[in-house]
């Protein structure tokens, strides 16, 4: 049965269980929001939701605590997203669980999360001796935030998106660190940076920046915001190639980084942690 966001643990007092409990994961179908965006049938994009979990702990067979950083790659064509607070509660249910090895934990996480997301999920674990090797860096591209603009609208307005359809096509990468949206259920702020790669009619940068800033009072989950940005740019500016990648700051020991694209270079986006993450 479909679950609604307001039925999730968000905004409600949480009871942290010390017993492993996969039933804590709260799935929300992607289909409803996609229907709102006019997405039906074959998806106009592919992509990933890259989750990084920094507060992963369990006990070894002798009862000694172990820690790791987990990276979870969720395909964009999975049936559902998982509400992030339920994800945190689920991870914390391992805190007093004895497991034979990190590989056992990874296998359990892969099975449970694949079931909750409704698609094959890839899980990797970085152990403490690997922490220093984890990549860090900022999104590259032309910085939209350099523009000195006046803002008076704080809801996303696709009419702000225009492109030079009569001019020579371009290929460029644009970046803004001014993306802010709000949780669909609690209204808590979600802060992020966004990278837009495209090839086609040159997009008006001032209008694009105003459009992105317009998410400042908008209530939607991370994955839904990125898909809305992708679809609005695709429809209004009509690029031949388009990818949208957002790196959101962490909350509750989790960050979520959605990527949507309609073309491939054979590589996934870098999971380098940005300065604000």
Residues labelled catalytic: 183, 190
Token pair of 112 as six digits: 């449970």
Tell me if 196 sits within 8 A of 208, measured CB to CB. yes
Q: How many CB atoms lie within 10 A of CB 227?
A: 26
- Cα–Cα distances (Å) from 164 to 63, 202, 262, in that order, read 63, 5, 21
DSSP track, 209-251: HHHHHGGGG-B--HHHHHHHHHHHHHHHH--SEEEEEEEEPPB
3-class state of residue 113 by DSSP: helix
Tell me if 112 sits within 8 A of 120, measured CB to CB. no
Cross-strand partners of 242: 198
3-class state of residue 208 by DSSP: helix
Nearest-angstrom CA–CA distance, 110 and 99: 15
- Cα–Cα distances (Å) from 49 to 46, 121, 146, 221, 230, in that order, read 10, 10, 28, 12, 14
Residues found in the chain = 277
């Amino acid at each position: 049965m479909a679950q609604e966001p307001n039925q999730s643990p968000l905004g409600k007092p949480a009871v942290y269980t010390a017993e492993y409990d996969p039933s804590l994961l709260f799935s929300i179908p992607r289909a409803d929001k996609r229907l709102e965006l006019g997405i039906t049938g074959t998806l106009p994009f592919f992509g990933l939701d890259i989750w990084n979990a920094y507060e992963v702990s369990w006990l070894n067979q002798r009862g000694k605590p172990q820690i790791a950083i987990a990276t979870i790659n969720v395909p964009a064509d999975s049936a559902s997203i998982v509400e992030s607070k339920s994800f945190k509660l689920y991870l914390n249910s391992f805190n007093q669980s004895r497991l034979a090895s990190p590989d056992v934990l990874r296998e359990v996480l892969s099975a449970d999360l694949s079931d909750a997301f409704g698609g094959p999920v890839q899980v990797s674990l970085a152990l403490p001796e690997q922490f220093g090797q984890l990549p860090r860096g900022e999104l590259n591209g032309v910085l939209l935030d350099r523009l000195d603009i006046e803002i008076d609208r704080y809801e996303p307005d696709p009419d702000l998106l225009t492109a030079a359809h009569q001019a020579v096509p371009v290929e460029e990468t644009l970046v803004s660190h001014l993306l802010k949206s709000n949780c669909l259920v609690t209204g808590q702020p979600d802060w992020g940076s966004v990278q837009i790669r495209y090839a086609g009619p040159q997009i008006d940068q001032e209008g694009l920046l105003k459009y992105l800033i317009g998410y400042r009072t908008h209530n939607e989950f991370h994955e839904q915001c990125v898909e809305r940005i992708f679809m609005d740019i695709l429809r209004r500016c009509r690029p031949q190639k388009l990818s949208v990648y957002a790196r959101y700051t962490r909350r509750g020991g989790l960050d979520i980084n959605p990527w949507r694209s309609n073309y491939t270079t054979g590589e996934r986006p870098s999971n380098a942690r940005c300065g604000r993450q």
